[in-house]
Structure 1
Amino acid sequence: MKKAANFLDYHIRRWYTQVDEALANESGVLAEDGVPVRKVVVAAAIQNPYAGEGYSDDLSKIVNCSKELGAEFGRRLVQALAGDSAQSYGKACLVGAEGEYEHGNGFLTTSFANPIREALGGGSAWIPSTGKRSEIGGGIDVPLACKDALYVRSHYDTITVNFPDSPAPDEVVVIFAIATRGRIKARLGGLTFDQVEGKDGLR
């Protein structure tokens, strides 16, 4: 059953915001500068317009409003950052049983991602992404990587999320995650975030 649209052509049943703050690593070692890692997740449970309809070559009912959806994600992410800056990002989707995994990917295109990049003050590296079909309450590990240069080893990270009442069989949960710094006490060498921030020659 098609539900009434409440965000352009989408029916969004629920928004989620999660903030995780780590003060020390798994060994109890604090960050040298005392600054915690804040990971912010914004997600939306959206009715899948193709749920239960079988195969379709045309996914425009998902893609057409992606730009505006991304802008709203960006606004919510910045609000949750509360003045902090994002250094890494990642995206994911959970697709309810009546949909295809490809339907979830339809929500995560460049049209969706670019307004988020803009809201976060830029991001020239590709955005790591994952997804799967899921039962209600299923979890997923969202990968994170540096937003300005992929090969910053300290910023390879993950945040695990789940949504107790989503996705319903006819829904997709669209997920975007950001982090304010790399792993605490990362010590594998390589480029640092300070070396690549704002420098177009390092990607």
Structure 2
Amino acid sequence: MSLELRRIVSHVEELRLVLGRSDEDGPLRKVAVCGIYANPFAGAGYVENLSPIVAASAEVGSELGRRAAALLEAPVQSYGKAGLVGTAGEQEHVNAAVTSVFGDAFREAVGGGRAWITSTTKMAGPGATIDVPLAFKDEIWVRSHYDAVEVSIPAGPAPDELVVIVAVSNRGRINARVGGMTLGEAQS
């Protein structure tokens, strides 16, 4: 089984200054790519076995990851994932779409990473907004990279849709200064 792709929505944000200041690392670029898919279990009531969505999610992770990395136009330092399910489904349907099968394919598509991929999911209606969490791809404890990308899906999700979202960034927050493990420490 493969998930039927209905459309793709992409979001690119470039932040240059925070309170009139920048730092030596240059602009912060954040990208989110959202695949809107038909939910094969929408309206079906309780379905015990969600493995068809899990299996199909590897292809989704690869495709969305490739698109996000291309739009970032820089090496990926942080990543995250999220999902929305329309009201004719249940949250578990979109959770099945963003398991480690999806995550491993996404990770490979963006150049690797050793850290687990932060995520969030929820049920929503058209025009929903979700914050996709971001963290450093090789070490979850690098606080400078704790961030998020706010994503809104125009006219989606429809009741019978799944929205699967990947997000990447090229660096940590501008002027990050809350301590913890540094990027340099994580890379050594």
Q: Following the alignment from structure 1 to structure 2, what is the Cα–Cα distance between the partners of residues 178 and 79?
A: 10
* Inter-partner Cα distance in structure 2 for 1:9 and 1:89: 24
In the alignment of these two chains, the number of paired residues is 188
Distance (Å, rounded) in 2 between the aligned partners of 1:9 and 1:87 = 29
**How far 1:174 moved relative to its partner?**
0.4
What is the one-letter code of the residue matched to 2:14?
A: E
1:32 aligns with 2:24: yes
Counterpart Cα distance in 2 of 1:167 and 1:97 = 8
Structure 1's unaligned 5+ residue stretches are: 1-7
**Other structure's SS at 2:185 match:** helix
TM-score (norm 1): 0.89
Q: CA RMSD in A?
A: 1.2
TM-score, scaled relative to structure 2: 0.95
Q: Deviations over 1:16-57 (max 9, x none)?
A: 1111000011x1212234x10000101111010000000011
The residue that corresponds to 1:111 in the other structure is: 101
For residues 33-182 of structure 1, the aligned pairs below 5 Å read 33=25, 35-82=26-73, 84-182=74-172
Separation in structure 2 between the aligned mates of residue 44 and residue 53 of structure 1, nearest angstrom: 22
Task: Provide the identity percentage.
Answer: 49
C-alpha contact (below 8 Å) 1:23/1:31 kept by paired residues: no
Q: CA deviation at 1:104?
A: 0.6
Question: In the TM superposition, what whole-angstrom CA distance separates every residue of 1:118-148 from its partner, at most 9, and x where no partner exists?
Answer: 1222111111110110010110111111111
Between the two structures, name the one with larger relative contact order (CA 8 Å, sep ≥ 6). 2
Asked whether the equivalents of residues 132 and 148 of structure 2 are also in contact (C-alpha less than 8 Å), the reply is: yes
Spell out, residue by residue over 1:81-119, the C-alpha distance to the aligned partner (whole angstroms, 9 max, x if none): 22x011111111111000000001010011111122112
Residues 99 and 170, structure 1, Cα contact 8 Å, conserved in 2:
yes
Q: d(CA) in 1 for partners of 2:69 and 2:118?
A: 19
The one-letter code matched in structure 2 to 1:178 is: V
